[in-house]
Structure 1
């Protein structure tokens, strides 16, 4: 499965910062119940890689990816943990040889037209716009569509329930990423039903969201 196919699995990819393996299992189970099936687990906590291993084993039909990949060592650790794809806030040159060697589906982050063009020339046609709202958001994506019509984006950073549909309506957006589906307060309260409800509200098929 290539990167674009992964992005098209659903309109929203939750960006998850997990504090424990049990938390990762509970949150993922709640999101799956709401129709989410693609997940980015960020390498921002000591529990991240252990969480990925457990999620891959517990939910074999889910697409578990690892985010915040910054170097070849992190990429290798993510793949050994069972990650199906990788996400980065950028595209550092030092990562390119490792990506070529592993041929893993990879979503690199860009913030400018030049970065998008460089990533495209490096072989990446599906990109993460990050941090989306801070660098121009919807107006930027609209402006990029005409000169770069063969690039598709997953905007992440500042995306939430109130603006996700507007992003998804853009022709060059395959899905959006965000953390609003599993907010820290609901996770702390272990309110898994509320998280499932948020996931269900977000799990509108991409075509339906774009036609609304």
Structure 2
């Protein structure tokens, strides 16, 4: 059965859709899209299911198929040929695809097989359960060796792991927080612009009054004012 029910020249005056290109060339739409993405074919002029392609797309599409299926050329060589081919050479390549059968369609996988595939994928990626570590049985002690205390018989102390080991390590290396020094109280009594009387410690009202009188006396002495 021929893949083309009409000659490519019939579509040179109109811009075909993707469905029309697939029907006239016998190729699957996904094949046409892949060739557009690879730069072998021009892209559609608009978007959407009704998008149309340039009028000469069908002839170029048949030429690509003729070179691939009749001459066995890889797509890389076809791309180079399309760069230098004349219109007459493209028509000759397109004529080679006239008697080719339509491209076989690949049926979509059945729902059951898809579910089986996903189920098998989950089973392969699921983590395997960790086997429990076998506790070694205690070796028999010689007859002249005293037995261990009853509380330790039948058990073997294993080093801690995971968070338990981390907590123990932090408890050993952690230093106690340094105690903050108490805020010291200072009483500063100005005497002259360059001299002041500074007293450290908490003072009551009577002590503060005495020190203020002392500051006044010192000020009078420094300034030459005898009391």
Range into which the TM-score falls when normalised by the shorter chain: under 0.3
Which is strand-richer, 1 or 2? 1
User: Over alpha carbons, which structure has the higher Rg?
Assistant: 2
User: What TM-score comes out, normalization by structure 1 length?
Assistant: 0.18
User: What TM-score comes out, normalization by structure 2 length?
Assistant: 0.17
